[in-house]
Amino acid sequence: MNQYLTTRPAHRFGAFTMIETVFVISLIALLAAITIGVGSSMANAGKQRATEGVIQVLDRALSDYIEKTGKNPEPLVSFVLVENSDAGMRGDLVYYPVFDGTINLEIVDPDSRLTRHHTVNSVGLFLKSIESGVDVDALLETIDSSMIRQYDVPDDLQPSLTTVFDSWGNPIRYVHPLLDGIIEDSTNAGDRRAIGDPGDYRSIMTAMDGFFSAGYLPEDSSLIPFMDSPVDGEVRRNRIVALDNETARANGSLDYPIEADSDGGRCPTRRPYFYSAGPDGDPSTIEDNIYTTVPLFDDPF
């Protein structure tokens, strides 16, 4: 019996070529980018749905209040101070405007005179304003608790109030028709701003401006917090300058924040509306804002 030794050539596996390596790495990077993009898009879609649900809850509460009282909530919300503050003393009755924008306040210290801009806690004030007609505690129980917390006030000029936030961690905003639209003074002739002109704060305590006059307040009140006096309260709503920081500096706008402090929208009816500033947290970029009712917009320039 003859035996034959059968040998087979061994399979030899060569290393990847450089082109093949680059191709594989590129393919992996592409798949990773697609996976991250899809995941991010799904996450944002979920946050948007959750935010829409929250502002719809607030809007239903507004409807309930209007149905029960026959009117919008008041644009000024009263508080009795329970502790000393820059706004007054314990027991003082003070009023806060339900305003989607910023308050201008001058603070004097031994070293310098500083101007600080305070964003008003509009939804916290809204919840306070409907207490007489709506069970606010029951309302808040219908909202995810992670979206409800005390407003992180920067100082004691505003009361610490329960506030509803959107899914990106920014407070939901509430716009009252008495204080809607673009509220600011312009240095441009005819109250039209040139691009880059951020405008100045405007008094809301004069009858000629159509907001609050001294007669609007109860006779026993003499205090509106974070304002120099009841007849000289200064607010601003909008502040869209449409310039980058470098150009703004060249135009002398260094003292003003470039960011807008609101969307500048007007109520399409005489009913208030709610909105979220969206994923970017910037209310002036209205394309990604989330509204109960889309407002009307004026060209500020």
Q: For residue 228, what pLDDT is reported? A: 43
Q: Is the pLDDT of residue 110 over 50?
A: no
What is the C-alpha to C-alpha distance for residues 143 and 268, in angstroms, rounded to an integer? 27
Residue 26 pLDDT class (50, 70, 90 cuts): confident
Number of Cβ within 10 Å of residue 128's Cβ equals: 21
- In this structure, which long-range contacts are made by residues 252-260, counting pairs with CB atoms below 8 Å and at least 24 apart in sequence? 253/196, 253/197, 253/198, 255/115, 256/198, 257/117, 258/198, 259/284, 260/284
Residue 155 lies in a domain: yes
What is the C-alpha to C-alpha distance for residues 105 and 137, in angstroms, rounded to an integer? 33
Q: Which of 5-19, 36-50, 150-164, 252-266 has the lowest mean pLDDT?
A: 5-19
Domain of 223 in residue numbering reads as 30-291
Q: For residue 200, what pLDDT is reported? A: 77
Average pLDDT over residues 138-155: 83
The structural domain count of the chain equals 1
Higher-pLDDT residue of 13, 202: 202
H/E stretch holding 228: none
Residue 271 lies in a domain: yes
Residue 298 lies in a domain: no
Higher-pLDDT residue of 85, 187: 187
pLDDT > 70: what percent of the chain? 63
Residue 249 lies in a domain: yes
Residue 207 lies in a domain: yes
Residue 228 lies in a domain: yes
Q: For residue 230, what pLDDT is reported? A: 40
Residue 188 lies in a domain: yes
Q: For residue 261, what pLDDT is reported? A: 87
